[in-house]
């Protein structure tokens, strides 16, 4: 099991630790509900250094990324970030990821540079997949082990962190980034992205500098009651927003069209993996869709629980579910037959051989004020 550069800090804080994607990761410190609310109301800090980072650089870097991802990378300006996925050749998803269009100060003439941020459990899988498609004038570099990632999330994140940098955090638009000095450390990439729906930033730093950055973040955020947050609250926060989790809600067998990710699937941009399958799905429709639902009766939906109709016929399966701390109700995601995916449709979750009533709803579950 691998450690992040911040593992000892988590242990010193008394975090409940567990293996996740091959890493020793903090699941919670003082409890998921309290940590969840800290992010919704103020500011919390996640160690997500287990994520993978690849640099794609060269004269045809954009062409390679355009082929292997579903979104249109050629619309990115320097300083933009983009959510996308890596389709396989059968209409499924190898992984979902972020694509960053990097500054070209370290590029030769005619070159472009990008950073891809992938899920920890898929680092080798994604690297192999992208590499096998690289027939372009493009260099790939896996910088995952040299890179640490801190997510500073919450409505007060910009205010709490502004004293650490000259980068205008308050003015930074969602899904953009800037590189600069942060907490006295040069060349930090500060990104207005996150997995919580409560605003904030993600900080990409040299792994050796991560403890210093962590310390500075907590000193600057002390007046805002900044809290360390584990992966348990990360999951409840993302689920309240309806964000997909790879391995649960999307995988190699799920189409982005089925998963409600049609908005990152640009079938008119030209050739890319599975584009013809996605065009056909858009034209003919799909037999199942990822639906969001709220429980109407007592019970918490869990991964793999059966979804049925009123007569007990199986119509799908739960992919993610939890008791939502911000909503005080149980919520979930699951694939159902398309005719059951419309909002207000009554469905049932099979919990301990009982059919528990639920209702399909529109996302997000939690509306940010």
Per residue in 212-237, pLDDT (tens digit) is 999 999 999 999 999 999 999 999 99
Q: What pLDDT score does 106 carry?
A: 83
Band of pLDDT at residue 107, cut at 50, 70 and 90: confident
Kindly tell me if the per-residue pLDDT of 369 is higher than 80. no
Band of pLDDT at residue 13, cut at 50, 70 and 90: very high
Confidence (pTM): 0.97
Query: At the top level of CATH, which class does the domain 34-236 belong to?
Result: alpha beta
Q: What pLDDT score does 201 carry?
A: 98
Query: CB neighbours (10 Å) of residue 30?
Result: 16
296 Cβ contact list (under 8 Å, min separation 6): 357, 358, 359
CATH 2.40.30.110 fits 241-361, yes or no: yes
**Cβ(187)–Cβ(244) under 8 Å?**
no
Q: What pLDDT score does 336 carry?
A: 98
Give the start-to-end residue ranges of the domains of the chain. Answer: 34-236, 241-361
**Cβ(156)–Cβ(224) under 8 Å?**
yes
Mean pLDDT for all residues in the chain: 97
Q: What angle do CA 351, 231, 185 make, to 5 degrees?
A: 165
> pLDDT tens digit string along 268-296?
999 999 999 999 999 999 999 999 999 99
Q: What integer is the mean pLDDT of 173-184? A: 98
Share of the chain above pLDDT 90, in %: 97
Nearest to 181 by CA among 158, 163, 198: 163
What sign does the CA torsion over 154, 156, 158, 162 have?
negative
């Amino acid at each position: 099991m691998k450690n992040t550069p911040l593992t000892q800090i988590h242990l010193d804080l008394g975090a409940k630790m567990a293996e996740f994607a091959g890493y020793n990761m903090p699941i919670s410190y003082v409890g998921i509900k309290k940590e969840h609310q800290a992010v919704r109301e103020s500011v919390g800090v996640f160690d997500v250094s287990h994520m993978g980072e690849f640099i794609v650089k060269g004269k045809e870097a954009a062409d390679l990324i355009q082929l292997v991802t579903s979104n249109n990378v050629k619309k990115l300006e320097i300083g933009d970030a983009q959510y996308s996925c890596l389709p396989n050749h059968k209409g499924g998803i190898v992984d979902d990821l972020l694509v960053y269009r990097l500054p070209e100060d370290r590029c030769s003439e005619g070159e472009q540079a990008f950073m891809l941020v992938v899920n920890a459990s898929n680092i080798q899988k994604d690297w192999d997949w992208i590499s096998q498609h690289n027939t372009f004038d493009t260099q790939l570099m896996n910088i995952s082990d040299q890179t640490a990632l801190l997510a500073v999330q919450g409505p007060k994140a910009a205010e709490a962190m502004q004293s650490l940098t000259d980068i205008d955090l308050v003015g930074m638009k969602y899904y953009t980034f800037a590189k600069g000095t942060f907490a006295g450390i040069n060349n930090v990439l500060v990104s207005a992205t996150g997995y919580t729906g409560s605003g904030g930033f993600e900080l990409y730093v040299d792994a050796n500098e991560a403890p210093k950055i962590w310390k500075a973040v907590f000193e600057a955020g002390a007046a805002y009651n900044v809290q360390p947050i584990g992966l348990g609250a990360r999951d409840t926060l993302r689920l309240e927003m309806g964000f997909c989790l790879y391995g649960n809600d999307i995988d190699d067998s799920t189409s982005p069209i089925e998963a409600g990710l049609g908005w990152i699937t640009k079938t008119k941009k030209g050739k890319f993996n599975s584009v013809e399958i996605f065009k056909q799905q858009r034209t003919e429709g799909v037999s199942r869709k990822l639906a969001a639902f709220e429980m109407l009766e007592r019970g918490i939906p869990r991964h793999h629980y059966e979804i049925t109709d009123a007569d007990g016929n199986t119509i799908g399966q739960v992919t993610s579910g939890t008791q939502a701390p911000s909503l005080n109700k149980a919520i979930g995601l699951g694939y159902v037959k398309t005719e059951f995916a419309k909002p207000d449709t009554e469905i049932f979750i099979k919990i301990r051989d009982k059919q528990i009533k639920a209702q399909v709803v529109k996302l997000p579950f939690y509306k940010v004020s």
